[in-house]
Each structure stands twice: as C-alpha cells, then as structure tokens.
Structure 1
Amino acid sequence: MWRTLRLALALLTVFPLAPKEARPEEFRQTTPFFPLAGYALGLPLALLAILPLPEGLFAALALALLLGLTGFLHLDGLLDVADALLGARPREERLRLLKDPHLGAFAFGVGGLYLLLLWQALALAREPLFLLLLPGFARFAILLFLHRYPLLGPGMAGLVRGGPWAWGLLFAWPFPALYPLPALLVLLAAWGVAHLAARRLGGLNGDVLGAMIALSELAGLLGYALWKAPGG
C-alpha cells in the first residue's frame, strides 16, 4: 500500500517519492490513492489559510503553491489543450497542436484568464478544510471520465486506466458531503473538458487530464465563492 501511495504522489505532485522499477500494473493500482495525493497538495494551502495574511498575498502564495507543487504540469496541460480544442480546425491539425510545445493565442488567452480567476477565487475561498479537500476530489473526479472516454494513446492516461478507481470514493466522499455545490461544479468542469476532447480530438491523454484537474479546481473554488456569498 505504501509503495502504491508513493507512486500516486510521484505521478501527481513534485514530491520525489516514486519507487524504483515500477511495473505497469502498479500504476493502475494508484487510482484509489489519487484523492490522497490531492490532500498532500491541499494541506499546505490549508495551513497557509490559517496565517494572518492579506487576502491578495494569501491568494498569490496559494496559487504559487498549487501550481508549483504539481510542477506546473496541469497548467501546461491546460495551455496545450486550449490551443488544440479552441478555434475551427480539422482534427489532424488539433492533434498536431496538442503535441506542439509552442503556445498560440488561445493558450495565452485561456492561461491569463485562468490565473486571474484562480487568484481571485482563492482569495474568496479561504476556508482551510475546503482548501484541504478540494484538490483530492478534483483528482478523483477525473477518474470518472477517464474510464468512460477513449484514449488518444498510451502515455500517463493509459498507465492508470483500468485500475480500481472507484475505491477512491472512500477518501474523496467528504468533499461532496460538505460542499455539494462546489462538488457539482467540479464534476461538470471535468466532464466538459473530457467531452469536448472526445468530440474534437477523439479521446483523452495526459494533457487533457491536466486541463480537467486545473479547470475543475477553479470551478470548485468559484462555486464555493458563490455558495458562501451573502444570499448564496
């Protein structure tokens, strides 16, 4: 169990915990631990929320932690997917752009809006328990759709597909129980990205999963701000 948890943390965070010579079947066994890997990211956010920091500074530091502790991989996936999915192009061109390391106009536009909204949403969602649980549920949410839609190739998505992902609900259930509206928006955001990728690209890959996590976390944060707003 500890070996599998270490592998899940290595897949989803920058923590150097990957065991040596992991076998393909071990990657599939990591899926129930995706929420725990998310909690490892949420814990620093929760601790930061306790400190007496101005809202703007707290949000900036929380944003830096959320991006930095994931190695900016989810943001990178969001930017790649934005270029590939948006605009009127044939499928072959979309797939080429998905692999292109250069950024286009859609990547810059989506990335800028994402960071601005994420900073503001973090400033409005300064509840330690919420910040602890949200990253865990977002990483569970992608598994619901990873096993429904086709894949573009093996890669990271192919490595984890087929594992006992449903057991992850044992770790992820507190978030929807405590925050039903944000949880619903997390699921809708993850589904929206997956559905659009399946229609326009033909399936999912690691970049799409990263975009799903990035946008579902943002949706959850915005949902919290709406839910906790006066009269919400």
Structure 2
Amino acid sequence: MLRALGAAFALLTVFPVPLALGSRDFRRALAFFPLVGYALGALLALLALLPLPPGLQAALQVALLLGLTGFLHLDGLLDAADALLGYRSREERLRILKDPHLGPFAFGVGGLYLLLLWQALALAPEPLFLLLFPGFARFAPLPFLHLYPLLGPGMAAMVRGGAWGVALLLALPFPLLFPLPALSAFLAAFGVARLALSRLGGLNGDILGAAIALGELAALLTYALWKGLVG
C-alpha cells in the first residue's frame, strides 16, 4: 500500500518519493489518486486560512496547485486543446498531440483557464471544499480510462487496470457533501473523454490531465455560482 501511494504521488506531483517503484506499483497507484488530491487540497485549505487579500490568496493557491503538480495537468490541457479543437483530420490531431510546441488553441484555452481558476478561488470557497475537490477531480476521469481505448503506451497505460472502485470510495465524501460541484466535475471529465474518443480514437496521459484540470475548474465554478445565488 505504501509503495502504491508513493507511486501515486510520483505520478501526479513533484513531491520526492524515496522508494524504488515498479510497474505493479504504478498500476495500483490509481486507487490512491484521490489521496494525492486531498494532500493538495489540505495545502489550499491552509492557505485560505491566512489573512490575505482574496486576489493575492487566490493567486498563491493557483501557483501552489500548478507548481506542486509540476504543471502536469495544465500541460495536458494545453496539448489537448491544440489537438481536439478546430477542423483537422485524425492523423493531424494525433501529430499535434505529440508536438511540444503550443498553438493558438493552447494559448486561448490556457489563458481562459487560468483566469477562471483564479477568479473561482478568489471567491474564497470554504476550507472543507478546498480540501476535498482536488481528490474528486482526480477520480472523475478514471472510469473512462478503463472504458475507452488508449492511444498507446505512457502514463495512462501504466495505471490502467488499477482499482478505480477503491478510488471511488476514497473520493465519495465530496459528492456526498457537494453534489452539484461533483456532478460538474464528472461531466467535465466525461466531456473531455468523449471528445478525445470521437476525434482521436482514445485517451492518453494528456487527455487524463486535461480532464483533471477541467474537472477542478468545473467544481470550483459551480460552487462559486451556487454560493453567489444562495448567498
């Protein structure tokens, strides 16, 4: 269990993991993806308790969330934006997905994503929400990772076959306490996965990262809108 948890942190964060890990550890790591999210969420919640201006606090939370994940999910979002959007053949989309250079869709989607993420965090969600939402966002794409074909070897192939049912149990507190944001996060992950299936023919690590990033954003925006309507 400890090795699998360490593998989950090694895959999803920049935290050093002083363990020798093998392919079995990475496959079993999938079950602990929500726990990685909770670790990130705990740091976001602690930051929210500091007496800082909302704008500065949100900027620091964005920096923490992106920095501690090594910008992995943002990178996936940018690559997926270039590959999935616009009118292109499947072959061209697959080529673009592997291209490290950024195109106009990546810049546009990335800019809007960062702006909306900052604004949603600036509305100061309650610490419990901040603790839980990153964990559920890291669960939301996992069912589609098992249902849909993969585009080839890589991070997604390494973790496929893990116990996503265990991940569901670990992620369950968020939908029980915040059902609408959880539904939004799941639908965002579903939308990314379905678009990738229809335009690329399958999923890979970039698509998984994009689904996590947009799942987090969808949950935050839904919470912010709900809070604005009822508050």
Q: Which amino acid aligns with 1:17?
A: V
- Identify the residue that residue 16 of structure 2 maps to in structure 1: 16
Contact 1:10/1:18 (CA < 8 Å) preserved in 2?
A: no
TM normalised by structure 1 equals 0.97
Q: Percent identity?
A: 74
2-side partners of 1:119 and 1:208: how far apart? Answer: 22
Alpha-carbon shift at residue 18 of structure 1 (Å): 5.5
State the 4+ residue runs in structure 1 displaced beyond 2 angstroms. Answer: none
Contact 2:7/2:26 (CA < 8 Å) preserved in 1?
A: yes
Alpha-carbon shift at residue 82 of structure 1 (Å): 0.3
- Identify the residue that residue 183 of structure 2 maps to in structure 1: 184
The Cα RMSD (Å) is 1.1
- Identify the residue that residue 102 of structure 2 maps to in structure 1: 103
Deviations 1:163-192 (A, max 9, x none): 111111221111000000000000000000
1:4-83 mapped onto 2 (5 Å cutoff): 4-17=4-17, 19-20=19-20, 22-83=21-82
Alpha-carbon shift at residue 4 of structure 1 (Å): 1.1
1-side partners of 2:11 and 2:230: how far apart? Answer: 40
> How many positions carry a matched residue from both structures?
231
Q: Helix, strand or coil for the counterpart of 2:16? A: coil
- Identify the residue that residue 121 of structure 2 maps to in structure 1: 122
Alpha-carbon shift at residue 203 of structure 1 (Å): 0.5
2-side partners of 1:54 and 1:180: how far apart? Answer: 29
Contact 1:9/1:18 (CA < 8 Å) preserved in 2?
A: no
Alpha-carbon shift at residue 124 of structure 1 (Å): 1.5
Q: Helix, strand or coil for the counterpart of 1:229? A: helix
Q: Helix, strand or coil for the counterpart of 2:147? A: coil
- Identify the residue that residue 143 of structure 1 maps to in structure 2: 142
Q: Which amino acid aligns with 1:8?
A: A
2-side partners of 1:60 and 1:45: how far apart? Answer: 11
Q: Which amino acid aligns with 1:197?
A: A
1:216-227 mapped onto 2 (5 Å cutoff): 216-227=215-226
TM normalised by structure 2 equals 0.97
Alpha-carbon shift at residue 230 of structure 1 (Å): 3.1
Alpha-carbon shift at residue 142 of structure 1 (Å): 1.4
Alpha-carbon shift at residue 231 of structure 1 (Å): 3.2
Q: Which amino acid aligns with 1:74?
A: H
Deviations 1:125-181 (A, max 9, x none): 431110110010000111121111110002000010011111112211110000000
- Identify the residue that residue 83 of structure 2 maps to in structure 1: 84
- Identify the residue that residue 3 of structure 1 maps to in structure 2: 3
Gaps of 5+ in 2: none
2-side partners of 1:183 and 1:14: how far apart? Answer: 26
Alpha-carbon shift at residue 26 of structure 1 (Å): 1.7
Q: Which amino acid aligns with 2:19?
A: P
Q: Which amino acid aligns with 2:149?
A: P
